[in-house]
């Protein structure tokens, strides 16, 4: 029986693309006098492209921005601004709250790669700190997805075996295949930027997770 659900954050619960767009627009509005005449559209487009959907660290993103456009503000100042203000623009995917309402009775956890302070601020901004029993952030853990160790730690802290867990994520390798290799079942939150992994369960909307879990447990109870 499935007793616990573990979630990825970015691209799964947090609509990171929309959140980054809102942040980039706000950062430009507040600091544009130090961007050497760069237009808002150019700033936002370059920041989003250089970010590579979160797979390039922000220190490198801002170094490239400053080097390319000759800003009068330093990359360190821009990075600090990101760390202090990104959470204000966090947007969840639709029906996240409805999904969690349907998951009462399950143990709930999260595994996310990233910096402790930044990720935990984002988690709090979405109200997830009040909903999750266990939160593992790679910087604090000293290990990151797709390393199987972080999945095993999550299960242990939730008080369950890995085969009693379902992992919900968007990245085919770091989330889905890694969770499966750790012994968990996996649900892929479809992302059009990736080819579908080999997985039994795919959702377009978070609320579908509830019916999938009920289906899994119903099937297993009949065995």
**156: closest CA among 131, 137, 182, 127?**
182
Name which CATH class applies to 4-15+91-222: alpha beta
Q: Give me the pLDDT at residue 218, please.
A: 80
> What does the block give as tokens for 154?
């999550």
The mean pLDDT value for 200-210 works out to: 96
Determine contact, residues 79/66, Cβ cutoff 8 Å.
no
- Look up tokens 């930044």; give the residue: 118
Confidence band for 14, pLDDT divided at 50, 70 and 90: very high
Is pLDDT above 70 for 100? yes
Which phi and psi angles does 39 have, rounded to 5°?
-70, 160
pLDDT at 118: 94
pLDDT digits (tens, 9 = 90+) for 134-167: 999 999 999 999 999 999 999 999 999 999 999 9
> Which residue is associated with the tokens 């130090």?
34
Does the pLDDT value for residue 223 go beyond 80? no
For residues 26-55, average pLDDT: 96
Per the document, the length of the chain is: 223
Q: Report pLDDT digits (tens) over 193-203.
A: 899 999 999 99
Dihedral sign of CA atoms 88, 134, 191, 63 in order: positive
Percent of the chain whose predicted confidence (pLDDT) is above 70 = 98
Q: What is the distance between the alpha carbons of residues 99 and 188, in angstroms, rounded to a whole number? A: 15
Is the per-residue pLDDT at 47 higher than 70?
A: yes
pLDDT grade for 180, boundaries at 50, 70 and 90: very high
| pLDDT higher at 146 or 55 | 146
């Amino acid at each position: 029986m499935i007793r616990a659900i573990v979630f990825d954050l970015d691209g799964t619960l947090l609509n990171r693309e929309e959140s980054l767009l809102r942040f980039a627009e706000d950062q430009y509005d507040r600091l544009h006098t130090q961007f050497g005449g760069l237009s808002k559209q150019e700033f936002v487009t370059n920041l989003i492209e250089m970010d590579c959907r979160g797979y390039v660290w922000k220190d490198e993103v801002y170094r490239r921005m400053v080097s390319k456009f000759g800003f009068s503000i330093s990359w360190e100042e821009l990075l600090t601004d990101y760390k202090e203000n990104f959470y204000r623009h966090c947007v969840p995917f639709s029906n996240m709250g409805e999904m969690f309402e349907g998951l009462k009775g399950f143990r709930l956890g999260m595994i996310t790669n990233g910096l402790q302070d930044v990720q935990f601020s984002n988690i709090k901004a979405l109200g997830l700190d009040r909903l999750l029993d266990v939160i593992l952030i790679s910087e604090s853990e000293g290990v990151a997805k797709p390393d199987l160790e972080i999945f095993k730690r999550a299960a242990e802290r939730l008080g369950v075996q890995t085969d009693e867990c379902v992992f919900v994520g968007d990245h085919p390798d770091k989330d889905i295949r890694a969770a499966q290799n750790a012994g968990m079942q996996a649900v892929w939150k479809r992302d059009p930027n990736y080819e579908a992994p080999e997985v039994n369960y795919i959702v377009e909307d978070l609320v579908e997770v509830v019916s999938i879990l009920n289906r899994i447990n119903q099937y297993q109870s009949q065995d």
